[in-house]
Chain A
Amino acid sequence: MKITFKIRRLNKEIGGRPYFQEFNIEAEPNDRVLDALMFVKTNLDGSLAFRKSCAHGVCGSDAMVINGVERLACKTLIKEITDDANFVITVEPLQGMLVQKDLMVSQDTFFENYRAVMPFLINDEPTDGKERIQSPEERVVFDDTTNCILCAACYSSCPVIQKKNPAFIGPAAVVNAARFIFDSRDQGLEKRLPALDNPNGVWPCKNHFNCTRVCPRGIKVTKNINLTKRKIIDYKKQNEKL
């Protein structure tokens, strides 16, 4: 089938403003958007810049805005987003992040926010040389969060970051905090509070659910943010009593 790619381009070295460039190409309905981008890059314009690696939705490199929605280019088939009447595919870089070149955006702030929540197990108790025991019931509590591939689709979709508070640490950082806060082996809630319990921490989230809708890993992002808020409130209440 014939498709028309409308790709947002920007090359800061040359200067100028971002613009849309159209490419008319042949693609199979079952091709990934990434396949079509690779076709353009290999055969039509080698300078087209985008990140890619695993090509099956697990490495998180190729999140971009496809027909107005954050998606992974390798996990989106042409047939999902086109039909006989509408064969135009618009591709833009993620929002709320500085565009580096074409579809590549700076992930610096995104990963700084990730680092700020101390995304590692905090537990200094020695072990007996074997595993720490964790029941399947305890394990399943945070299972959802372990799916995160740090693709930043949620961050780009977040209306709070877009319109109100660009300093909000964002959905992915909170999900990765939740990953540990709800892990029965972790003891680091208190250490993470400075990053979470502040005006740019968990609180700016206003339950728009965009993050949950776009997450290519199906994580219930908003739910995890709310659970984290609840956990902080409960923790503070308990501390007040003491």
Chain B
Amino acid sequence: MKHQYEAIIVGAGGAGLYAALEASKTAKTAVLSKLHPVRSHTGAAQGGIGAALGNLEEDKPEWHFFDTIKGGDYLSDQKAAQILVEEAVNAVYHLENLGLPFSRTKDGKIDQRRFGGHTRNFGEAPVRRACYAADRTGHMILQTLYQQCIKNNVAFFDEYFVLDTLIDGNKCNGVIAIELSTGEIHIFQSKAVLFATGGFGRIFKTTSNAYANTGDGPALLARAGVPMEDMEFYQFHPTGIYGMGILITEGVRGEGGILRNRYGERFMEKYAPTLLDLAPRDMISRAIIDEISQGNGIRGDKKIDDYVFLDATHIGKDIINKRLPDIAGFCRTYLGIDPAEKPIPVQPTAHYAMGGIPTDLRGRVIRNECGDVYEGLYAAGECACISVHGANRLGTNSLVDLVVYGRRAGTDIACFVKKADFGSIPASPDDAARKKVNSLITGRKSKSRGAITSRMQDVMMEKVGVFRTAKEMKEAVEVMRGLKDEFKEVGIKDTGKSFNTELVEALELENLLDIAYLTAVAAENRTETRGAHSRTDFPARDDANWLKHSLIWLDREQFGIKYREADVSLYKPKPRVY
């Protein structure tokens, strides 16, 4: 079946829905999502969305800006980060006006709490900047945006999985997608396509990410010849539930929670004397691994899967139930404890990709080291790299990113499609997609997915984790290359057309393998330590050689790795201490 829309949005999380709301005001727009929109992983964001409203104490976008670039270890593009923090304020008010039920201050304003790396007056002390709705802020953002899409009659294609892009030279003319309920392959011709497919934490064994976070957009575009930016920067959130990876929001520490080792020591005193437990995530994750490797973990056996305690017992039942009810629920369900009575066992969990599809300030996808863009191809949200987060994202800034840059991309698309024409698409644009599906379904291949998935996740976790070395990353690159080859022999047993979820999982695995490979290659290539990319063999930041973004092509033999200078026009890099 063939469809024609001026704008196609792929992905229905915060960025996709915001863009759809904007674009659909004037352009004929459709949203394609492999999930029903309300299942998107934006809904799992907990602690808050950062904006310098100053509702409880003095705050300024300029301070938020400084925190963001310092948090990003000076790799953030500073003009992009400036837009982020300035537009954050209106974006939060806009969300409230659309109905988002923020928690409230005594005088009825949006309530704000402390969060990691967010400070007043350039690092003096933590500031209340995270606007929150209990500990389900992302859930409320997702719900509010979806509700607005209903109100504005946005067209949805739920449970459609995108298989291919129609990129002709430098122009994108649409996508090919499979309708999961029927197995039918659809052609979507369009003037503009936005990818907002979210993260890819599922390349790692322990992750806070959903099963759905398989990097579909970045992988699809990488295979179409689009470079990926800064793939070496992947954030490990310090507080995932031990053994499961389920996120425990930084908001627990924002409300006063303390990390402790087996001796009960508040170990962050050693690593970040000013901000302590509210230091940025990369530093705290390293501190936890350091404690564990010194034998200070709770078991004390120095094994990498040891853990520490997040102590919230002094916060009080009342505040926990009021401001952190979901966290209390997770602890009850999965750990059988009440966080008001017992400390929470936590360990770092793979959480957020700073890197991804390179874009400019209008969300247009960049195609080379000169910053030239594709025509009609956009990306926003976690799958994109603008880069506002640099080498390490601050807590709450992911939600800011997806509303600010989701909206900007949507606005640009609306203007662009007014002037643009539909490009021509080939006679059988879905040939490649059909071939791929058929080779998986009807091939006589017998290799199973399970072993490949576990091996990828184990190796990425062990060798491209919080601390990295050349030797281990080289091994990871080789393993990923081998697994990509093995994937060619993967066959699936479900030969049906309707709801072939085994087919979807195989396609997702293919995407994960390409992303894991690019992550490992990019990580090995960057010979310095910066933000979340921490190398024991190159332990220092190297501004002379590495104040730049890496661009990596999947077809590396042909294109190699190239670079774009980071924009440090407003604040020159300084040592990063907290």
Contacts and interface: CB of A to CB of B under 8 A. Distances in A.
B493 interface: yes
Interface stretch (A84-92, A132-140, A222-230): A132-140
Among A30, A42, A77, the one with the most B-chain Cβ atoms within 10 Å of its Cβ is A42
B42 to A, nearest CB: 10
Interface in B284-320: none
Contacts of B450: 42-43
A56 B148 contact: no
Given A133-B109, A134-B108, A121 B99 contact: yes
B170 to A, nearest CB: 34
A107 interface: yes
Interface string A130-161: 11111110110011001101100000000000
A2 interface: no
B151 A135 contact: no
A16 interface: no
A185 interface: yes
A53 B211 contact: yes
- What's the interface size class on A, roughly? 35 or more
B147 A59 contact: no
B530 interface: no
A50 B501 contact: yes
Contacts of A12: 498
Contacts of B102: 131
Given A58-B44, A107-B36, A146-B140, A46 B108 contact: no
B523 to A, nearest CB: 26
B212 A53 contact: yes
A9 interface: no
Contact of B104 (A118, A135, A147): A135
Nearest to A79: B336
A131 B334 contact: no
A123 to B, nearest CB: 8
Nearest to A119: B147
A129 B96 CA distance: 10
Nearest to A184: B108
Interface in B86-109: 90, 93, 96-99, 101-109
Contacts of A57: 329-330, 333
Interface string B469-500: 00000000000000000000000111011111
Interface string B21-54: 0000000000000011011110110000000000
B139 A149 contact: yes
B288 to A, nearest CB: 21
A149 B140 CA distance: 10
Contacts of A75: 333
Interface string B61-97: 0000000000000000000000000000010010011
A69 interface: no
A115 B150 contact: yes
A219 to B, nearest CB: 12
Given A42-B450, A47-B502, A75-B333, A60 B104 contact: no
A75 B326 CA distance: 12
B93 A130 contact: yes
Interface in A12-56: 12-14, 30, 41-43, 45-47, 49-56
Given A146-B133, A180-B99, A120 B35 contact: no
Contacts of A121: 98-99, 147
A161 to B, nearest CB: 20
B246 interface: yes
Contact of A46 (B98, B133, B211, B492): B492
A100 B181 contact: yes
A149 B133 contact: no
Contact of A129 (B43, B93, B148, B334): B93
A172 B496 CA distance: 33
A219 B212 CA distance: 26
Contact of A56 (B40, B98, B334): B334
A213 to B, nearest CB: 17
A132 B333 CA distance: 36
Interface in B123-174: 133-134, 136, 139-140, 143, 147-148, 150-151
Nearest to A75: B333
B348 to A, nearest CB: 17
B159 to A, nearest CB: 9
B44 A120 contact: no
Nearest to A76: B333
A101 B498 contact: yes
Contacts of B110: 131
Contacts of B136: 58, 146-147
A120 B98 CA distance: 8
A118 B148 CA distance: 10
Interface centre among A11, A101, A131, A134 (most CB of B within 10 A): A131
Given A42-B450, A47-B494, A147-B136, A54 B41 contact: yes
Contact of A41 (B106, B108, B502): B502
A176 B577 CA distance: 47
Contacts of B502: 41, 46-47
Most A C-beta atoms less than 10 A away, residue of B38, B106, B136, B492: B38
A131 B112 CA distance: 13
A111 B147 CA distance: 12
A14 B109 CA distance: 58
Interface in B211-236: 211-212
B346 to A, nearest CB: 14
Interface of A: 11-14, 30, 41-43, 45-47, 49-61, 75, 77, 100-101, 104, 107, 111, 115, 118-121, 127, 129-136, 138-139, 142-143, 146-147, 149-150, 180, 183, 185-186, 218
Given A51-B39, A146-B140, 19 more contacts: A41-B502, A47-B494, A47-B496, A49-B501, A54-B41, A56-B44, A56-B246, A57-B333, A58-B44, A59-B38, A60-B38, A100-B499, A107-B36, A119-B150, A130-B93, A136-B104, A136-B105, A139-B103, A146-B101
Interface of B: 35-36, 38-41, 43-44, 90, 93, 96-99, 101-110, 133-134, 136, 139-140, 143, 147-148, 150-151, 181, 210-212, 244, 246, 326, 329-330, 333-334, 448-450, 453, 492-494, 496-502, 505
The 6 closest A-B pairs by CB, nearest first: A121-B99, A47-B494, A46-B502, A133-B108, A120-B147, A42-B450
